[in-house]
Homo-oligomer: A and B are copies of this chain.
Amino acid sequence: MVIRLINKTRLEHMTKQQSILEAAKKIFSEKGYHQTTMDEIALSAQVAKGTLYYNYASKSKLFAATVTEGMEEIMANISRELESELPFIEHFRLLLSCTIRLYLQHSEVTRIYVNELSSGIDNDALTEIKNVRKKFIGFIKETLATGQERGYLKPLNRDLSALALVGIVDALCNDRLDSPTGSPDDQAADDIIDTVFTILATGMVNG
């Protein structure tokens, strides 16, 4: 078992809580929920195992905290980037492009988020995670709703549309992160953004 320790000097500037969360994010992302042990996280965060439990009631709570914290950061970032006033279609493109970019950038969290939504986490924690997902989809839905109200978007079922958007993004980003090259280069991100935008904006069918 190879455990890469978090860079020492970074650790010194973190509280234990932070370094636990950091370590958890990394290892959950690499190995998935069930193949990650609390021992590994403790080792990687350079704290005693008891310290994990002093800060988080259980493995699943730590997991939920990891995902929640990570996704909320992503959502906050997207929100910030979308604040500018732009024509709707530009706005829509921006939504897609920054979502995809942040998905790929925060690959550790999103990998967990996309892949581990089921798989035997206890119910409390699972509920918490599903709530983040709902929040994220609700967030997308708002933009779509605005577009529909102003007549820019077709009056499709909003829930399904938002789900569709998220589904595309999940699938493409996850495949990208799974492919052997590893680090998401800009070229790949641009390809994904273009394809997703074209499909969602104008569909696949010609003229």
Which stretch of A10-18, A63-71, A77-85, A189-197 is in the interface?
Answer: A189-197
Count of this chain's copies in the oligomeric assembly: 4
Within A165-197, the residues touching B (CB, 8 Å) are 166-172, 175, 191-192, 195-196
Contact with B along A114-144 (1 / 0, CB 8 A): 0111111000000000000000000000001
Interface residues on A, range: 35 or more
Option from B117, B120, B144, B172 in Cβ contact (under 8 Å) with A163: B172
- For residue A102, CB closer than 8 A to chain B, the reply is no
Chain A interface helix/strand/loop/mixed: helix
A204 touches B153 (CB 8 A): yes
Q: Which of B89, B118, B163, B175 contacts A205 (CB 8 A)?
A: B89
Which residue of chain B lies nearest to A114 when distances are taken between CB atoms in the complex? Answer: B118
Check if A201 is an interface residue, CB within 8 A of chain B: yes
Q: Which residues of A contact B (CB under 8 A)?
A: 31-35, 89, 92, 111, 115-120, 144, 147, 151-154, 156-157, 160-161, 163-164, 166-172, 175, 191-192, 195-196, 198-206
